[in-house]
Structure 1
């Protein structure tokens, strides 16, 4: 074996010199070839080298997969520091276990809740994580079947666990998987715990794992599926409101876990006409019957076939949740005639109608005070704030992207006066039972709204239109610029620096008047060149404000995928929004121009 290793080391040096392997990949491969902690993977690495499989080796070794937004997410491959495999998942679980034990400072009754979705190897990674926790002396409460991310968040709180693990890559492609890591409050990890866990993950030497069956037989893993199903149903059902329940609902789990959460909840609440869309019902990590195998309710294409079915069946609404059921997408008929045209609502629009619906119900009940609040992130539409203020409640919105920041705001502001949380990427939460977005309860609220609108002979689009006239027409669009591999990472950094050093002067025919840089906490006035301190969180996020109020663009690198996300925000005043058709066309043209100009800027500077 020693001679094979030496030959492999010489080969990677030669490949690096020839340009077939990046320098960072060479160094990471060297570690996997020479350090004992990677001995189980050494022969597979050598086989790849002997086969001259340099492109694959560079892809899976060019960096160390980051422990980013709540955990580790990426493409699965049996080897590689930049891939999801037994080693990188094992390091993640071991690092979490080590920190939990250290943080407990002698506490012995430690516990962790674990759940998983329908993705490839999710069950395998779940057993690996559970065995690592058990070996560390941490009791595991396991949801021993496909279950939703919000059910995991609830389970952490229900069992008063010290941490939680959800094995899922959410709406990523079938090639990917991940672990999302939760703290004792049921939210994804935040400072100071995140950096401490990351340190242990990145310096993990030995992974200690008890065989799964042994851990179960010794009581270190307890199957808790039935208890969580029962208790989650009780607390989630309590988040709804009284009213009509006459609605014909077509539901798509997009090949994921949502049916186990959504269907019992809607049935319990009195919705008797709920049909699962057959082609999307199969639980499959391949996501076979969605366009491009992209199982994401933000992707309008996933609704095309269900809309045709819903038209023929005269449904009132289509609800779709992503594979781990923490996001909601919706399509509805534009008029009261379900056989005619349908359209989807984007994440901001859904957030606005749900925010208004929840606040209207709370207002009718007379239990809103100025201390109550809704939460949104910085890249979520400002119409949410306007709606909240109209009902006399606060809007907490100076937050970075990610629902974990909404959860943190709940803790800081006090959960007793929390009303609703919303983010532009189709995530919503009501109630105190969880600290993460919940697609199932969002389905419940939307179903209740649809039934109420049907009773009043109004469509969901009528409801949205009324809000747009009242608060001014808002239109937003998120654009993703994918930048794969080591070159992509360099391009991402270069583009973000260009936004800071030499931002565009005009976008969509409007002057850029200010730059809000949350990484450096500065606001720069373009006309004067003067910079002042920016009040807000610190993170790699930049806003470019335009000369018309409510119009701006934001940019940030994704925390889970190799891309930069561009958020385009446009708005007209209520006076300019009386004619919705004209307002929609005007802002669509502005959105298109913003996207064109931003893509051109990115092309020149990345």
Structure 2
């Protein structure tokens, strides 16, 4: 008997799901060893975002068995690492994808089998409600069953730590070891939420608390509601996801419920996402139905969430032309609104303090906003001009969330906003992760303010921000890589391209890209930064993630990065100039040079 046949026998021994048993049994009887090897030989990798994979039988896929095994390992790890974990419990939520509820119930059974309290969110929820509930309940951890905006055949198992943030290393590798030590299923009970005293339904309680937090974030200014102005009409699409009931409730406080037109074909959860090629608002064509709906109703603003509603996008019609805002543009608009709101609030508090209390030399915490290393430098430019603190982190909200909490705990900083170019926005007073519902509500609140202040649309406000802080343009793209080995070879070649000009003992990064000299190198894979005194990067080094950043003499910064979840090499180009045409031209030139000089072979 071959090794793959042994793996198939082991699968059939422990799998109690009839559908996946039938898949493996069928492949075994057909003698399809190549497919069995793909499915069984390599276990699905647990990373800092948890699991995400195609739903089908096999140890390398996501299915009932791998969800149970993952849950048992995660439970074992949480019990060892978190004080009073059994009593504090684990929050579980699920979205509208195929098998999401089933996987959530099996995870609950695994946690209950380990004696851990389960805080159960009973029906479809948006992803941010899980980290919110962890903080609200002071839970030990949380799990959300979702694959966000992946294709219909995928699902995922997203984990959060006791601080309500996504986990960071070394939790992922340690959880992997715990999973391997807990492979024998303890329970296949898919009705545990109805039978176990350890499982407590908390959805209504958490939703009410969440919307109170949204209300506080939307109406930060003391004793101030939205300006009295003509309501803003907008079209909304949840892209066949779970966002509609959450946004509907969130906009009630804005008195905009009657102003929202919903894309009827995409209004309700549908795990097949029938009207879009990819259920991601960033993808070309994803907002076509929403724009058609807007045109049919003479509406100039479209808002969208991805299917699990943790991301947010917007499109604006300007002189009959639709412009879908980039993640960076939305980020800078929200940052501007948060700065104006914070400044207004501080002025109110200063006046109150002057009237009611003796003066004090104690300075308030310094305002801070954050963005990831692949996002626009425009937030940094705003921080420099407005004298607030800017922090850059590695890619991903696991870094942004943890960094914001670290700064807040220091007592010296007040983090109020963070964003990433991939249409993700975080408001730490609501949740320590990206939140598409909070982002949509606060964006609408900002629109009302801009209209009241000067009759400005979001597009006009964005142009004013460019005039004030500089014109920034982006040119982001990706190329598909056939394998990890090819990707590693591409990065190795880039790192050696300057060898002919290098002095003995020097690193051999290229010194030019096209016609422009490279003035700074940052390599977060090997740990090198030419701009620091000791040549050590300020950001954490990740030796298992390929990531290079270069700055050019013509005020362009770009990053080349291997995706951690897809077979792609991603390029992020950020160019600054005195006008938008100049910035866009710079970005295009650099994009062409990177493709031609660096990404040959892909």
In which range does the TM-score fall when normalised by the shorter chain? 0.7 to 0.9
Alignment of 1:456-475 (within 5 A): 456-475=454-473
Q: Say whether the 8 Å CA contact 1:370–1:393 is kept in structure 2.
A: no
The corresponding residue for 1:518 is: 524
SS in 2 for 1:533: coil
Distance in 2 of aligned mates of 1:341 and 1:311: 11
Aligned pairs, number: 558
Superposition RMSD in Å: 2.6
Distance in 2 of aligned mates of 1:107 and 1:93: 14
Single out whichever of 215-224 and 245-254 deviates more from structure 2.
215-224
Per-residue deviation, 1:571: 1.3
Per-residue deviation, 1:237: 1.3
Structure 1: runs of 5+ lacking an equivalent: 1-5, 13-25, 578-582
Alignment of 1:426-575 (within 5 A): 426-455=423-452, 456-483=454-481, 488-502=483-497, 506-507=512-513, 509-524=515-530, 532-539=535-542, 540-572=545-577
Q: 2:372 aligns with which of 377, 388, 391?
A: 377
Alignment of 1:382-461 (within 5 A): 382-397=377-392, 399-414=393-408, 417-455=414-452, 456-461=454-459
Per-residue deviation, 1:140: 1.1
Alignment of 1:316-331 (within 5 A): 316-331=300-315
The corresponding residue for 1:21 is: none
Distance in 1 of aligned mates of 2:153 and 2:190: 25
Per-residue deviation, 1:560: 2.3
The corresponding residue for 1:252 is: 237
Q: Say whether the 8 Å CA contact 1:496–1:556 is kept in structure 2.
A: no
Q: Say whether the 8 Å CA contact 1:552–1:570 is kept in structure 2.
A: yes
**Distance verdict in 2 for CA 1:34–1:213, change over 3 Å:** closer
SS in 1 for 2:91: strand
The corresponding residue for 1:137 is: 115
SS in 1 for 2:529: strand
Per-residue deviation, 1:471: 1.7
Per-residue deviation, 1:602: 5.5
Q: 1:164 aligns with which of 120, 136, 142?
A: 142
Q: Do structure 1's residue 349 and structure 2's residue 329 form an aligned pair? A: yes
Q: Say whether the 8 Å CA contact 1:167–1:180 is kept in structure 2.
A: yes
Distance in 1 of aligned mates of 2:457 and 2:41: 51
**Distance verdict in 2 for CA 1:334–1:145, change over 3 Å:** same
**Distance verdict in 2 for CA 1:602–1:288, change over 3 Å:** farther
SS in 2 for 1:532: coil
Q: Do structure 1's residue 146 and structure 2's residue 108 form an aligned pair? A: no
Question: Scaled by the length of structure 1, what TM-score is found?
Answer: 0.86
The corresponding residue for 1:17 is: none
Alignment of 1:299-314 (within 5 A): 299-314=283-298
Distance in 2 of aligned mates of 1:274 and 1:524: 50
**Distance verdict in 2 for CA 1:220–1:356, change over 3 Å:** same
SS in 1 for 2:574: strand
Question: Which whole-Å deviations, capped at 9, do the CAs of 1:565-585 have from their partners, x for residues lacking one?
Answer: 21112111xxx22xxxxx33x
SS in 2 for 1:89: helix
Question: Which whole-Å deviations, capped at 9, do the CAs of 1:23-60 have from their partners, x for residues lacking one?
Answer: xxx5xx65444588756577743531442545543543
**Distance verdict in 2 for CA 1:59–1:315, change over 3 Å:** farther
Q: Say whether the 8 Å CA contact 1:522–1:534 is kept in structure 2.
A: yes
Question: Which whole-Å deviations, capped at 9, do the CAs of 1:107-142 have from their partners, x for residues lacking one?
Answer: 641411111111111111111111111111111111
**Distance verdict in 2 for CA 1:312–1:34, change over 3 Å:** closer
Q: Say whether the 8 Å CA contact 2:146–2:155 is kept in structure 1.
A: yes
The corresponding residue for 1:580 is: none
Single out whichever of 441-450 and 416-425 deviates more from structure 2.
416-425
Question: Scaled by the length of structure 2, what TM-score is found?
Answer: 0.86
Distance in 2 of aligned mates of 1:319 and 1:201: 40
Distance in 2 of aligned mates of 1:386 and 1:179: 37
**Distance verdict in 2 for CA 1:504–1:305, change over 3 Å:** farther
